[in-house]
Amino acid sequence: MALKATIFKADLQVVDMDRHYYADHALTVARHPSETDERMMVRLLAFALHADPALEFGRGLSTDDEPDLWRRDLTGAIELWLDVGQPDEKSIRKGCGRAAEVVVLSYGGPSADMWWSRVRDKLERCDNLTVLHVPGTASQALAALAQRSMRLQCTIHDGEVWLADDTRRIEVPLLSLKKRD
């Protein structure tokens, strides 16, 4: 019998002064049995960074043809394709062919550096691709915020990102590895 996803609830308040976006989101996040708290929290961070009423979580780790998050317009065309972690180069190029904008949010330590050095040259011609990296200390601090029921605030101002719950506040540096042209 297959293990079922664990359901997490997050009340996420986004204050994005860079985009002039201010909203509360009641999110239900299904964490796949093989997914860590760290990855799930980076997915929540990715949502906060690109928060929009039309932004949706994909069907999860076991689905190859969907990103972790995406935003589609009313016709079904994909405006934003968002992947978390270290997706393979083929998957990223597929997203670049299907979406107007693709963002990869990698996280962690040396394995993320090795992943980027392997795929960087193969992705340099993807004009609609942005790759950001969350250092391992920040992604591990985000994992410590994970609870089955969460109240989180994300503040974005002048490129600085802060994620907080009722007792802790974490600065999340985002290192730009590739900017979309």
**pLDDT value at residue 63:** 61
- Cβ neighbors of 34 (< 8 A, separation 6 or more) are 61
Amino acid 61: pLDDT: 57
Instruction: Specify the amino acid at residue 114.
Output: M
Specify the pLDDT at position 59: 78
Helical H segments across 22-171, by residue range = 37-49, 89-98, 110-123, 136-143
Q: Note the pLDDT tens digit of each residue in 87-102.
A: 999 999 999 999 999 9
Which pLDDT score is estimated for 80?
A: 98
**Model pTM?**
0.94
User: What is residue 104's DSSP assignment?
Assistant: E
pLDDT digits 0-9 by tens, 38-88? 999 999 999 999 999 999 998 765 566 789 999 999 999 999 999 999 999
At residue 58, the pLDDT reads: 87
**pLDDT tens per residue across span 130-154:** 999 999 999 999 999 999 999 999 9
| Domains, the chain, with CATH or none | 6-178 (3.10.640.10)
